[in-house]
Structure 1
Amino acid sequence: MTMKRNLFLAGAMVLASAGLARAEMAATAINDLTIHAGPGTQYPTVGVATRGSETILDGCVAGSQWCRVDVSGMRGWVYAQYLQMDRGGTQVIVDQNQADLDIPVVTYETTAATGPAEPAPGDELLGPVGSVETIEPPQTVTTYIESNPGSTVEVGGDVVVGAQVPGTVTFQEIPDYQYRYARINDRPVLVDPGTRRIVYVYN
């Protein structure tokens, strides 16, 4: 099966407020960050910033979990759940505190694009971009999944670590755990919600 690939030729960020006039907003990566050229996993990967990297936050898309940052010499978009900032001496997650942190609002406009915005069911899973380190889930997570198996979703391609799950697949939250759960082709998997990449496959 031929994989459909997104080719985003150009894009532009437009500040919806006077964000450029504000003082720089510093944030820290609480996990390895995959940096994309636009606010979504369908955009090309710019690079990866390691956990603990200091970033300069430009702003976030209104009603979205995507923010634009400058980190390790790279500029791009990352998932706000993996950024934290200081608020009154306490480190808080950007995704959950955008209003309280007074994060500038930005918008993104693509000037040209071809291909679907997200892979559709039946398309092959996208392969990994670079290496994806397999995690080892705790027993509490395994027990939770066994007690809440959920419905299986049929998707073409091999269910392997590093494969990107199509945007039409809904993930199941796991209490007190950063990764999400899905059952793909009757294979339970753990998925990074920011990159939509599989990080663990249960045998």
Structure 2
Amino acid sequence: MRMHLSAAAAGFLLLAGMGAAAADTVVIQPEQETVIKEYVKKQPLASVKLPGVELNVGTALPDTVELHEVPNVKYRYTVIDNRTVIVDPGTHKVVKIIE
């Protein structure tokens, strides 16, 4: 009986962890992405290099990276290694990389 409870508890914790990870996933609606892309095209920025930082969704950028506002959009953007990066201004985490 004890073995069954431990396995069930472990399974529950695993599923709870997966749920928490899924809650961190940011979905940018296609309309918002279009607005961001059009704005970025009109407001080009110089590309920044961040040695030692692997650029992926979820990567937290250093606070020294300047983020730029897109009107009427929650997220900010910057250009790193010639890639437009959409960032959550509260956490400085990359939420999308626009190629």
Do these two structures clear the TM 0.5 threshold for a shared fold by scoring above it?
Answer: yes
User: Among 27, 30, 33, which residue is 1:135 paired with?
Assistant: 27
Aligned counterpart, 1:180: 76
Runs of 5+ in structure 1 lacking a partner? 1-49, 51-129
Letter in 1 for 2:98: Y
User: Whose helix proportion is higher, 1 or 2?
Assistant: 2
Deviations 1:115-166 (A, max 9, x none): xxxxxxxxxxxxxxx5641433431211001111211111122211000000
Secondary structure (helix, strand or coil) at the match of 2:96 reads: strand
Identity of aligned residues (%): 29
TM-score normalised by length of structure 2? 0.67
Structure 2 residue 54 is matched with structure 1 residue 162 = no
Aligned counterpart, 1:109: none
Q: After TM superposition, what 4+ stretches of structure 1 lie above 2 angstroms from structure 2? A: 134-138
User: Whose strand proportion is higher, 1 or 2?
Assistant: 1
Letter in 2 for 1:191: V
TM-score normalised by length of structure 1? 0.34
Contact 1:164–1:197 under 8 Å retained in 2: yes
User: Among 145, 148, 155, which residue is 2:40 paired with?
Assistant: 145
Larger radius of gyration: 2
Displacement of 1:180 in angstroms is: 0.2
Runs of 5+ in structure 2 lacking a partner? 1-19
Aligned counterpart, 2:98: 202
The CA RMSD measured in Å over matched residues stands at 1.8
